[in-house]
Amino acid sequence: MERKASRRVNAHLSPEHASPKDRPARLTVGVVGAGRVGPALAASLQLAGHRPVAVSGVSDASLRRAAAMLPDVPVMAPADVLAHAELVLLTVPDDALPGLVAGLAETGAVRPGQLLVHTSGRHGTAVLDPATRAGALPLALHPAMTFTGTPVDVQRLAGCSFGVTAPEALRLAAEALVIEMGGEPEWIEESARPLYHAALAIGANHLVTLVAQSMELLRTAGVGHPARMLGPLLGAALDNALRSGDAALTGPVARGDAGTVAAHIAELRAHAPQAVAGYLAMARTTADRALAHGLLKPELAEDLLGVLADGGNQ
């Protein structure tokens, strides 16, 4: 059943013309959860020739997003969205996804042969098992991108990597959908999804925290335009890190400047005590990685690690 349905889906997704605007609408698309992600993906699929037909949303913000990015697409209850769409995007928070899928399956909303796509980074296709048993075709397509909930998100999908997990029979369909949205498919095994998601959270979510904290400290130090100061520095640091990994490390920890690090800790304790724990944790991790890659000289590491240990105990 799954292989037969996957052949039908692949036929729908096979581009017949060079330009998306020349293609007939091939799949009707529904969105359950009009947060920042769902409307952007549906709008991208619309550009590829598919036809959004229904969206669900509860909050005023989600309804505004749906109206702005999917104009004239009717708002419906989740079960009604499934009744109208061949391809359904389940774009709800990770922790809400299992309950949503179970509820839709229990109420008979899932139709055999229907493509159910969730965008959770943490979950693979196992979370869709209740719907799969009802005949749905399960796909996990997670865009490795931060979303604003505005039309700019559609542009940012160009070249964006997607973490893709799907049954082997649906792999081509999953990859085709990602490509139609302008993305690049990256295959992630079911068992590796939590680690994959943790890696993205460390890189992206923690980056926002670090940058926001850095700007606050610069303002406290009297810098009038923290973002302007940090922009070139962080852009260069990110580029170097992506190109060279740990070899891009610079700064007092990688150099083993224990006195400078001690001064940092003292200033943070005086002016921003809430930042001390994060500084110490990142400095220790940086020191460990610098040592392991031969950047931090062992004879300098002892004093540095001593300062970090003392800083944590004061």
Give the pLDDT band of residue 26 (cuts 50, 70, 90). confident
Residues 205 and 146: beta-carbon distance below 8 Å: no
Average pLDDT, the chain: 92
The whole model's pTM is what?
A: 0.87
pLDDT, tens digit, for every residue of 140-170? 999 999 999 999 999 999 999 999 999 999 9
pLDDT, tens digit, for every residue of 203-228? 999 999 999 999 999 999 999 999 99
Read out DSSP for 148-201? -SSTHHHHHTTT-EEEEE--GGGHHHHHHHHHHTT-EEEE--GGGHHHHHHHHI
Q: What is the pLDDT of residue 15?
A: 47
Give phi and psi for 72, each to the nearest 5. 70, 5
* Range 279-306 average pLDDT: 95
* Range 274-289 average pLDDT: 96
Q: What is the pLDDT of residue 268?
A: 96
State the number of CA atoms in the 13 A half-sphere of 314 facing the CB: 16
* Range 269-282 average pLDDT: 96
Give the pLDDT band of residue 24 (cuts 50, 70, 90). very low
Q: Does residue 313 register a pLDDT over 90?
A: no
pLDDT, tens digit, for every residue of 238-272? 999 999 999 999 999 999 999 999 999 999 999 99
Interior/surface letters 98-115, b for 16+ CB within 10 angstroms, e for the rest:
bebbeebbeeebbbeebb
Q: How far is CA 171 from the centre of its chain?
A: 20
Give the pLDDT band of residue 195 (cuts 50, 70, 90). very high
CA–CA separation, 49 vs 42, rounded Å? 11
Of 21-35, 111-125, 141-155, 265-279, the least confident: 21-35
Give the pLDDT band of residue 18 (cuts 50, 70, 90). very low
Q: Where are the domains of the chain?
A: 2-188, 195-313
pLDDT, tens digit, for every residue of 50-64? 999 999 988 999 999
Structure tokens at 127: 């979370």
Q: What is the pLDDT of residue 310?
A: 85
Q: Which CATH number applies to 2-188?
A: 3.40.50.720
Q: Does residue 113 register a pLDDT over 80?
A: yes
CA–CA separation, 282 vs 251, rounded Å? 13
Residues 264 and 252: beta-carbon distance below 8 Å: yes
Give the pLDDT band of residue 311 (cuts 50, 70, 90). confident
CA–CA separation, 217 vs 47, rounded Å? 43
